[in-house]
Chain A
Amino acid sequence: MTPVAWIRLLVITVAIGALEGACRFGLIDRRVMVPPSDMVASLAAILRSGSINGDIVQTLGVIAAAAALAVVLGFALGLFVHALPRLRAGLDPLFATYYAVPIFIFYPVLIAIFGLSLVPILLIGVATALVAMIIATLNGLDRVPPVLSKVARVHRMGTVATALRLQLPAAAPYLFTGVKLSVSYAFIAVIASEFILAPSGLGRDIADAYADFNNSRMYALMLFLLITATFVNMALHAWDLRWAARRGREPS
């Protein structure tokens, strides 16, 4: 490991150690935060008991479903918009503004339409992630060298074959960036929905623990979410690196 990496490890360790010390020695009140060691112990106990397994499956399942839907739909829409330059020009301001506005504020509207179930959560997850995938698809398709489309025609490939066997693999690195973003956005949207109003799920568990003043449980669950998010991010990043090495380019 490089010296910089060692320093970084040291900084992180010292920070966590300081947090632990501050909690244990009463500098931070137990009603505000529990020591990190306590969080880990609580989490281990909760996981062993299996009591939140159902919620884990549900929450992560909805996130995965929302991300998957956003990716597939986003790619298809991106292909469609890319083929129609005037439509794309008209939609450009919408795409540019989409992530500037908190789409999430429409979550309650979805609850009003579909009732309190997993459906509005799934929908807001898809809605949040969708445009990122569309934009990534457009970027990726822009960067397919024009000569490859000519090769497709020389091989007499139809529209679908060209899209799946040529445009998709050629744009793959940029599409993968879209996948990473979709997963991130889906995660945020689903957890936020579960916090605010949901029948069940990890976010709902955390909200309940908060309302019950059960800090140990609350922090344990938060830690679980953070670990899961970090793990998924790292896995996606590692995958990106492997692909990039093979394609001879820098990972994004």
Chain B
Amino acid sequence: MSGENGAIHAQLKGVTRVYPAAAGHSPVHALGPVDLDLRMGEFFSVVGPSGCGKSTLLEILAGLQRPTQGTVTFEGRPVLGDVPDGLGVVFQEDASFPWLNVWDNVAFGLRRAGVSAAEVRRRVEDAVVFLGLRDFARAYPPQLSGGMRQRVCIARTLVLQPRLILLDEPFGALDAQTRLLMGEEVLRLWRSTGATVLLITHALDEAAMLSDRVGAMSARPGRFLDIIATGWMRERDSTIVREPAFAEITGRLWENLRGESMKALGHSGGIAAQ
């Protein structure tokens, strides 16, 4: 059971993100302050209402954005505006390259890393089979469904054997059942690679099912309200939704987040608090 007792893989300390004032608007306090210790090999999810800054958190951790305040470290070294080696990201939007077929998409990063052709072939083949894309290896992304394109992006990240994998709402565009099944795939991946995984999602059940720990984030500016340890065993799949513990965990998450979600809605003129 990985989780609270492992070594620290990545760390955020006192991180805030404030977008400076643009023409005619005041500065936007998007995130923080946030503290987060990611343990080696754990599966950590961040759940929160829309606009709370979850994606910003992920991008800061990845080095795609710099925090306004606070420090970010990965494997003991500070992250300073460049994406460190050993870190993979799967984005919310479809990031597959429409001009390359599935095989070339997956091989893209590997080829650039100067890996031998034989090794490229081996790793891409493994990833493509693992993600059920073998029959579509020569197809182009515009010919595939949204879910398959996301799998291409995941495969592309996987072949580089990242030690920390960041997933930003990767299943946003999929229907509920497909999401559950894709969740199982991600668990398989996590187990077979032994990587640390950070998943951003707005779906409570997804977070509760997949994770070792779940961070519930407040409405903007996002801060962690609670971090819940699920205690699941490593060999889990979607059938754990039947466990009583599952309902408890989702219940606790919703307790934390109900008020925050209403706040988030209120920002766009929604339902009055009851």
**B28 → A minimal CB distance (Å):** 18
**A215 → B minimal CB distance (Å):** 50
Check B112–A172 contact: CB distance below 8 A: no
- Give A153's nearest chain B residue, CB to CB: B83
**Which A residues are in CB contact (< 8 Å) with B97?**
148, 166, 169-170
Is B142 in contact with chain A by the CB < 8 A criterion?
yes
Is A247 in contact with chain B by the CB < 8 A criterion?
yes
Known: A148-B97, A155-B108, A161-B112. A247 touches B91 (CB 8 A): no
Is A112 in contact with chain B by the CB < 8 A criterion?
no
**Which A residues are in CB contact (< 8 Å) with B175?**
none
Check A170–B99 contact: CB distance below 8 A: yes
B130-144 near A? 1/0 per residue, CB < 8 Å:
000000000010110
**Which A residues are in CB contact (< 8 Å) with B88?**
154
- Give B113's nearest chain A residue, CB to CB: A155
Check A156–B98 contact: CB distance below 8 A: no
Check B143–A248 contact: CB distance below 8 A: yes
A229-252 near B? 1/0 per residue, CB < 8 Å:
000000000000000001111000
**B92 → A minimal CB distance (Å):** 8
The count of A-to-B residue pairs whose CB atoms sit within 8 angstroms is 57
Is A115 in contact with chain B by the CB < 8 A criterion?
no
Is A150 in contact with chain B by the CB < 8 A criterion?
yes
**Which A residues are in CB contact (< 8 Å) with B85?**
156
Check A154–B89 contact: CB distance below 8 A: yes
B26-67: which have CB < 8 Å to A? 59, 62-64
Is B93 in contact with chain A by the CB < 8 A criterion?
yes
Is B87 in contact with chain A by the CB < 8 A criterion?
yes
Query: How many residues on A have C-beta within 8 angstroms of the other chain's C-beta atoms?
Result: 20
- Decide if the interface of chain B is mainly helix, strand, loop or mixed: loop
- Give B87's nearest chain A residue, CB to CB: A154
Interface residues on B, range: 20 to 34
Known: A150-B91, A151-B91, A154-B62. A248 touches B140 (CB 8 A): yes
- Report the separation of the CA atoms of residues A145 and B100 in the bound assembly, to the nearest whole angstrom: 16
Check A155–B112 contact: CB distance below 8 A: yes
- Give B99's nearest chain A residue, CB to CB: A169
- Give B110's nearest chain A residue, CB to CB: A155
**A243 → B minimal CB distance (Å):** 9
**Which B residues are in CB contact (< 8 Å) with A166?**
97
Is B235 in contact with chain A by the CB < 8 A criterion?
no
- Report the separation of the CA atoms of residues A116 and B82 in the bound assembly, to the nearest whole angstrom: 54
- Report the separation of the CA atoms of residues A155 and B140 in the bound assembly, to the nearest whole angstrom: 21
- Report the separation of the CA atoms of residues A247 and B59 in the bound assembly, to the nearest whole angstrom: 29
Check B95–A156 contact: CB distance below 8 A: no
Check B93–A156 contact: CB distance below 8 A: no
Is A226 in contact with chain B by the CB < 8 A criterion?
no
- Report the separation of the CA atoms of residues A166 and B63 in the bound assembly, to the nearest whole angstrom: 20
**B50 → A minimal CB distance (Å):** 18
Is A147 in contact with chain B by the CB < 8 A criterion?
yes
**Which B residues are in CB contact (< 8 Å) with A12?**
none
Check A247–B87 contact: CB distance below 8 A: no
- Report the separation of the CA atoms of residues A121 and B117 in the bound assembly, to the nearest whole angstrom: 48
- Give A243's nearest chain B residue, CB to CB: B99
- Report the separation of the CA atoms of residues A156 and B91 in the bound assembly, to the nearest whole angstrom: 16
**Which B residues are in CB contact (< 8 Å) with A151?**
89, 91, 95
- Give A247's nearest chain B residue, CB to CB: B98
Is B194 in contact with chain A by the CB < 8 A criterion?
no
**B192 → A minimal CB distance (Å):** 21
A177-231: which have CB < 8 Å to B? none
- Give B85's nearest chain A residue, CB to CB: A156
A residues in contact (CB < 8 Å) with B: 145, 147-148, 150-151, 153-157, 161, 165-166, 169-170, 172, 246-249
* Sample (16) of A-B pairs whose CB atoms are under 8 Å apart: A147-B91, A147-B94, A154-B62, A154-B83, A154-B87, A154-B88, A154-B89, A155-B108, A155-B109, A161-B112, A165-B112, A169-B97, A169-B99, A172-B99, A246-B142, A247-B142
B residues in contact (CB < 8 Å) with A: 59, 62-64, 82-83, 85, 87-89, 91-95, 97-100, 108-109, 112, 140, 142-143, 157
Pairs A-B, 9 closest by C-beta atoms: A248-B142, A147-B93, A169-B99, A147-B95, A154-B89, A155-B109, A151-B95, A147-B91, A154-B83
